[in-house]
Chains A and B, each alone.
Chain A
Amino acid sequence: MLRLPRLRYLRPASAQEAATVAEDLGTRAMLVAGGTDLFPNLKRRQFDPEILIQVPSLPGIVKEAGGFSLGATVTLAQAAADPGLQVFLPGFAEAAGLVSSPPLRNAGTLGGNLCVDTRCNYYNQSHEWRKSIGFCLKKDGEICLVAPGSPRCWAVSSSDTAPVALVLGATVELTGPEGSRMIPASALYRDDGMEYLAKEPYEVLSAIQLPAEPGVRTAYVKLRRRGSIDFPIAGAAVALKLDGDIVVSCRIALSAVASHPLEVPGAGEFLAGKRLDQEAITAAAELAAKPAKPLDNTDLTHFWRKKMVRVVVEQALAAAAARSA
């Protein structure tokens, strides 16, 4: 049986208290929500905290003027099944419902999904395995095993909901010891496989505000080997506003092709003002796929994944267009 390392476990009463304790304890502690990402990582000794601080249960899904407010501890299953999200932001509900497998979605939270650790198949391995091959930059080592010449880590952002949050122009609420601040979801991420979050480690992601602009159609398409359980190996989120069949605005973001959820503004801008026909979709997908640089550190080959980015973008555009506004 693979076991967790010895840990202490704290249950603060509020997000602010959690952040206060987290700041005090510094690197000795980590925040945990559903634990579906953190516990496997701890069992493989990818982190080494002495103390876990439970993110306390936060408010659920609230429909507000102009959108939705979701507490960070809303589970993926709740988000996927929420009737309001399904109607107004189906792409978000879809992404939450495509994470891993049904039992996992009953525990995994939205906050955890947005903060999920970047992945690499040299890194998501047991301590013994990593020791055998030689530790890498991201944990205990000196070099990157995927790109040995590179000074940085290329571990892959693998969140399914993050790209949808980006294209919706979502805002996240970060709670620190002194109070909360709001930042755009896009500002939460850094293009770095190791320091992939731009927040203070002790800050609790407490809520997500998802704007639901009238007329915006959303979709998320995920590519993975099996129908369930697997992380994305490429994914595309689309938020599309149409006037008839003319594109008013379009935002596209990709999952699993970089160390951060990758918004591709060029493709959306290209579509603005154009009729959304097959030709436009193909051209936009081409543009969207350009910046995607998958490396050989996930399932299947990067050669194929690179080719598939175009396909998932096309599928997501078509799916969004087919949705009723």
Chain B
Amino acid sequence: MPTWLDREVEKAVVRLLLNGEEVEFLAPVHKTLLEVLREDLGLTGTKHGCELGECGTCTVLIDGRPQLSCLVLPLQVEGRPVTTIEGMAAGASDHPLQAAFAELGAAQCGYCTPGMLLVAKSLLEANPRPSRAEIQEALAGNLCRCTGYAKILEAVELAASRMVAT
């Protein structure tokens, strides 16, 4: 019998600034941000491929920077702004990165896409005119098995050029 099962579950009320909204929820403290987003808050746009920090699929933005939600406790990011894929579009209009990804076929199965998009968003905010090498470096923690990354690279470049132009 696993020893950890006998332990009491400690729960905590957590407040997050999630996609610009204040949310408050009660959850076991050992549930990761990934689990809470998907299972308690209904934000299933955040995907997962390993839950061990090895694939980048679960990436969200914390304080505007990409972090792996499978390796974060909600209490560790309390009070800090968290952005998930659901918070990327401004209402009905896509973020230019979302538009470019859809347009160029940078999302095939789409499973890696939320993580890719959020990393790209934080990249373009810090560096509006990234070189190809900088884009590749920034996205190097996010695996994709469908696209060979080619269309993802093009889409980030396209979005960057459109964002700089406006």
Contact = CB atoms under 8 A, between A and B. Distances in A.
A50 B51 contact: no
B56 A103 contact: yes
Contacts of B76: 35, 54
A215 interface: no
Nearest to A126: B52
B140 A40 contact: no
Interface stretch (B25-33, B95-103, B104-112): B25-33
Contacts of B52: 2, 40, 43-44
A35 B9 contact: no
Nearest to B38: A1
Which secondary structure characterizes the binding site on chain A? loop
A188 B34 CA distance: 34
A36 B28 CA distance: 20
B65 interface: yes
Contacts of B28: 6
Contacts of A36: 53, 68, 71
A48 B10 contact: no
Interface in A75-129: 77, 100-104, 106-107
B34 to A, nearest CB: 8
Nearest to B34: A1
Given A40-B53, A103-B67, A106-B66, A11 B35 contact: no
Interface in A1-30: 1-9, 11
A227 interface: yes
B57 to A, nearest CB: 10
A35 B73 contact: yes
A9 B75 contact: yes
A4 B141 contact: no
Contacts of B70: 39
A5 B51 CA distance: 13
Contacts of A6: 4-5, 7-10, 28, 30
Interface of A: 1-9, 11, 34-36, 39-40, 43-44, 48, 50, 54, 77, 100-104, 106-107, 227-229
Given A9-B29, A103-B68, 4 more contacts: A6-B8, A36-B53, A39-B53, A40-B54
